[in-house]
Amino acid sequence: MLVYKADRRTLGFVATYFALLVALWVWSPTQWYFWVPLFLALCSFSWFCAVITHNTIHTPIFHSERLNRLFQVVLTLTYGHPVSSYVSGHNLSHHMYAQEDRDIMRTYKVRSQWNLVNLALFFPTVINGIMKSDFEFTRAMKDRLPTWYRQFWIELSVLAAATVTLVVLDWQKALVLWIIPHIWAAWGIISINYLQHDGCDDTHPVNNSRNFTSRFFGWWTFNNGFHGVHHRYPDLHWSLCREVHDKEFAPTIDPRLDQPSIAKYFFKAFIFPGKRVRYDGAPVELPPVDANQKWWPEPGEPIPEKVSFGAVGAGR
Render pLDDT for 101-122 as a digit per residue (tens, 0 to 9): 999 999 999 999 999 999 999 9
> Given this model, what pLDDT does residue 293 score?
84
Average pLDDT of the chain is 95
> Given this model, what pLDDT does residue 148 score?
95
pLDDT of 184 > 70? The answer is yes
**Nearest-angstrom CA–CA distance, 303 and 316:** 11
> Given this model, what pLDDT does residue 28 score?
85
pLDDT tier, 2 (very low <50, low <70, confident <90, very high otherwise):
very high
Residue type, 181: P
Mean pLDDT across 288-307: 82
> Given this model, what pLDDT does residue 297 score?
84
pLDDT of 215 > 80? The answer is yes
DSSP, collapsed to helix, strand or coil, labels residue 6 as coil
**Nearest-angstrom CA–CA distance, 295 and 298:** 9
SS3 content of the chain, % helix, strand, coil (to 5): 60, 5, 35
pLDDT digits (tens, 9 = 90+) for 5-45: 999 999 999 999 999 999 999 998 889 999 999 999 999 99
φ and ψ at residue 28, rounded to 5 degrees: 50, 60
Q: Could you count the other beta carbons within 10 Å of the beta carbon of residue 117?
A: 15
> Given this model, what pLDDT does residue 314 score?
53
Mean pLDDT across 158-172: 98
Which residues, other chains included, contact 52 with Cβ-Cβ below 8 Å and sequence gap of 6+? 10, 13, 14, 75, 78, 222
